[in-house]
Amino acid sequence: MKKIHINCDLGEGATFDAELMPHISACNIACGGHAGDEESIRKTIHLAIENNVEIGAHPSYPDKENFGRNSLNISAEDLKASIKKQVKLVQKIAEQKGVKVTHVKPHGALYNDAAKNKKIAELVLESLNEVEGDFSLYAPFGSVISKLAEGKIKVVFEAFADRNYNPDLSLVSRSKKHAIIHEKEAVFEHVFRMYSEGKIQMESGEELPIKADTFCVHSDTENAVEILQFLQQKLRDKNVKLAKI
């Protein structure tokens, strides 16, 4: 039976993290930049351990007011300090619980900026290289940061199950009407095409090549639990099971 790796951003204040956790392979835990604090990190790690789910840090621009979704005018030193502080906080709590952080995934605007902006990508990589630990980096296929990371940190290519893409493989802005895919059937078709064919379909119908090692379903998508349950069932029907530790 083949396997698929699915991740989810958790510890962001949603009320159904516990319902999402059994249906994912890895969680990316908000660590104080856009959301989250020590209590929420500890609670999320506890849920991850119970469900045999990989634990990741999900650092962002330090901007809770805008949920880390806006690019922030911040000095290089301050950004590096913030990223390191966020990742180390998750590491510290994970170690207290006897587990390790397996990966880091930047959040929101930081993720998008690092995907296309060399300066931001370099700052993120410098920050991670100054943090002790054997962890990988989640990044988009073909992104600036994934190319710069070669030889520095293991990259896990990520694609989004519940988001539409632009022709340059960037995500359609959340300000646009069709940015988010809500229909569970459409999410499955979107994911299975990427998983089985290595292709992604634009809204225009054009298909482009993509590589994905993990697929993200956002916890703040309204019907995220329903999507994950449906996705897992349909994948099982295709003889594909959820990857677990």
CATH code assigned at 112 = 3.20.20.370
Angle at 199 between CA 193 and CA 189, to 5 degrees: 20
pLDDT score at 205: 82
Residues 72-97, mean pLDDT to the nearest whole number: 98
Counting the structural domains of the chain, the total is 1
Percent of the chain with pLDDT over 70: 100
Expressed as residue numbers, the domain containing 197 is 2-242
State how far Cα 121 lies from the chain centre: 16
Label residue 65 exposed, middle or buried (CB < 10 Å: 0-12, 13-18, 19+).
Answer: exposed
Number of C-alpha atoms within 13 angstroms, CB side, residue 25? 18
Residues 196-207: tens digit of each pLDDT? 999 998 878 889
Number of C-alpha atoms within 13 angstroms, CB side, residue 172? 18
* Contacts of 83 by beta carbon, 8 Å cutoff, 6+ apart: 59, 106, 123, 124, 127, 128
Give the type of residue at 212: A
* Contacts of 230 by beta carbon, 8 Å cutoff, 6+ apart: 184, 185, 187, 188
Q: Is the pLDDT of residue 220 over 90?
A: no
Could you tell me the sign of the dihedral formed by the alpha carbons of 219, 222, 223, 227, in that order?
Answer: negative
